[in-house]
């Protein structure tokens, strides 16, 4: 697809700031309580999907040679959000732990809906930030990820996922016919273990032990402990429970997205633990306009794997001949993934069609389905 010049003024970038709408929605829902507490999930999953149907697809490709300094109004939202989320999470936590406007059950529900924002927006922005060269942006990415008790995400994502996606060594690649509720505990264990191993291997190459203080796991732990202490100060043990609830919902959402992004898409094993290079065909994409504004083009996922540090306004979309396309946007696909029989009935035929299209010569898919191929070095 041909590229077009991108407008770089604030008005052009403003649609990507739509994520801030979560703040008044959460504030209103928390103050009103009752059935209004369902307003955030209704907006985040159902209303967003409905708007996508109305707004349609957006397949224009911006000029990838646009310099970073021209994108300041686009990237500013990712620099502003970490501070917004800090105030949102801990303000909501203090309110939920101390107000008499909410019952205990409603307090849990309210803080869980805050986790929708820290997951759908915060983790997504952290994903953008950790890929950049700027130390400040990487710091903000770590800040957001430790706020949901998932600091090791940066180590796993940069050192494991991008290198080994579509192979048995990547815990984030969902296997064909693997239901989400089997994937979720597997990925929680696998990501932590692989992240820890990747950092230890890097230190070993410098003749340093895994316990060396240059291991970022110390930083992750310190930030997470600090957030837990703050939660205790604001709400006691109930505050810690609420904070963990927020974090769990955010992580749950992250892994739902991870599940759908590469479901069943495996790289060809070339023998002796070697695999073909990552190609656009190894990610599921969606070109839906509104959710791509909300998710800062995360659904242009094939191009992200092609150029991981390419800033979100410049990510490219591919046609269906080059990269598999989802019929619906990520929000509605994640809803579907929470119902494994429905998901498998809908997606397994698409995976089989993908295999026939790109790998018609492969006769035995069992080693791919069960992650039995040799792990890459």
Are the C-beta atoms of 308 and 323 separated by less than 8 Å?
no
Position 3 confidence tier, pLDDT thresholds 50, 70, 90: confident
The pLDDT assigned to 266 comes to 97
Per the CB < 8 A criterion, the answer to whether 75 and 311 are in contact is: yes
User: Comparing C-alpha atoms, which of 319, 317, 324, 316 is closest to residue 357?
Assistant: 324
- Helix 180-204 crosses helix 216-261 at what angle (to 10 degrees)? 140
Structural tokens at position 92: 């909501």
Tell me the CB-side half-sphere exposure of residue 113, using CA atoms within 13 A: 28
Burial of 361 (0-12, 13-18, 19+ CB in 10 A): exposed
State the total domains in the chain: 1
Q: How far is CA 67 from the centre of its chain?
A: 25
For residue 68, give its domain range: 3-369
pLDDT of residue 80: 98
Lookup result for tokens 């890459």? 376
Mean pLDDT of 40-60: 95
55-63: average pLDDT: 94
The mean pLDDT of 188-195, rounded to a whole number, is: 97
- Which pLDDT value is given to residue 260? 97
Q: Specify which residues 274 forms β-bridges with.
A: 271
Phi, psi of 243 (to 5 degrees): -60, -45
Quick check: 2 pLDDT over 90?
Answer: no
In a domain? residue 260: yes
Q: What is the mean pLDDT of residues 94-104?
A: 97
Please report the pLDDT score of residue 29 as a whole number. 97
Classified as helix, coil or strand, 4 is: strand
Given a cut of 80, whether residue 163 has pLDDT beyond it is: yes
Paired tokens of 124: 């997504």
- Tell me what the mean pLDDT of segment 300-317 comes to: 95
Span 110-135, mean pLDDT?
97
Confirm whether 376 is domain-assigned: no
- In contact, 292 and 58? CB cutoff 8 Å: yes
Give the model confidence (pLDDT) of 205-256 as tens digits: 999 999 999 999 999 999 999 999 999 999 999 999 999 999 999 999 999 9
136, exposed or middle or buried, with CB in 10 Å at 0-12, 13-18, 19+?
Answer: exposed
**Model confidence at 65: pLDDT above 80:** yes
More confident residue, 1 or 126: 126
CB-facing half-sphere around the CA of 348: CA atoms within 13 A: 12
Burial of 138 (0-12, 13-18, 19+ CB in 10 A): middle
Quickly state the pLDDT bin for 166 (edges 50, 70, 90): very high
Please check whether residue 375 lies inside any domain of the structure: no
Distance in angstroms (rounded) separating the CA atoms of residues 163 and 152: 16
Q: Is residue 116 one of the residues assigned to a domain?
A: yes
Q: Is residue 374 part of a domain?
A: no
**Cα separation of 96 and 116, whole Å?**
16
Mean pLDDT of the chain: 96
Task: Give a yes or no: residue 157 inside a domain.
Answer: yes
**Which residues, listed in sequence order, are joined to residue 4 by a DSSP beta bridge?**
62
pLDDT in tens, 256-280: 999 999 999 999 999 999 999 999 9
User: In the predicted model, is pLDDT for residue 1 greater than 80?
Assistant: no
């Amino acid at each position: 697809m041909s590229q077009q010049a991108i407008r770089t003024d604030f008005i052009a970038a403003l649609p990507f700031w739509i994520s801030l709408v979560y703040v008044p929605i959460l504030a209103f829902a928390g103050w009103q309580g009752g059935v209004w507490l369902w307003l955030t999930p209704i907006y985040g999953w159902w209303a967003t999907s409905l708007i996508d149907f109305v707004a349609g697809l957006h397949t224009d490709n911006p000029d990838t040679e646009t310099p970073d300094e021209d994108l300041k109004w686009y990237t500013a939202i990712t620099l502003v959000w970490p501070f917004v989320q800090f105030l949102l999470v801990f303000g909501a936590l203090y309110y939920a732990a101390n107000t008499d406007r909410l019952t205990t059950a409603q307090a849990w529900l309210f803080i869980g809906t805050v986790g929708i924002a820290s997951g759908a927006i915060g983790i997504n922005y952290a994903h953008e930030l950790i890929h950049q060269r700027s130390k400040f942006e990487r710091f903000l990415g770590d800040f957001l990820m430790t706020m949901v008790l998932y600091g090791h995400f940066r180590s796993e994502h940069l050192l494991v996922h991008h290198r080994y996606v579509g192979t048995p060594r990547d815990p984030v690649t969902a296997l064909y016919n693997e239901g989400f509720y089997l994937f979720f505990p597997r990925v929680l264990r696998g990501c932590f273990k692989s992240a820890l191993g990747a950092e230890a291997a890097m230190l070993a190459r410098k003749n340093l032990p895994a316990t060396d203080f240059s291991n970022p796991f110390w930083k992750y732990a310190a930030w997470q402990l600090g957030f837990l202490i703050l939660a205790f100060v604001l709400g006691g043990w109930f505050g810690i429970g609420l904070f963990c609830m927020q974090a769990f919902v955010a992580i749950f959402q992250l892994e739902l997205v991870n599940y759908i992004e590469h479901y069943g898409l495996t790289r060809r094993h070339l023998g002796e633990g070697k695999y073909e290079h990552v190609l656009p065909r190894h990610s599921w994409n969606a070109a839906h306009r509104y959710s791509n504004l909300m998710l800062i083009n995360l659904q242009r996922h094939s191009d992200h794997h092609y150029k991981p540090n390419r800033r979100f306004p410049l990510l490219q979309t591919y046609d269906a001949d080059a990269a598999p396309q989802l019929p619906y946007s990520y929000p509605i696909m994640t809803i579907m993934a929470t119902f494994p029989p429905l998901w498998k009935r809908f997606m397994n035929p698409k995976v089989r069609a993908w295999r026939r299209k790109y790998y018609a010569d492969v006769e035995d898919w069992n080693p791919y389905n069960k992650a039995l191929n040799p792990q890459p070095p």
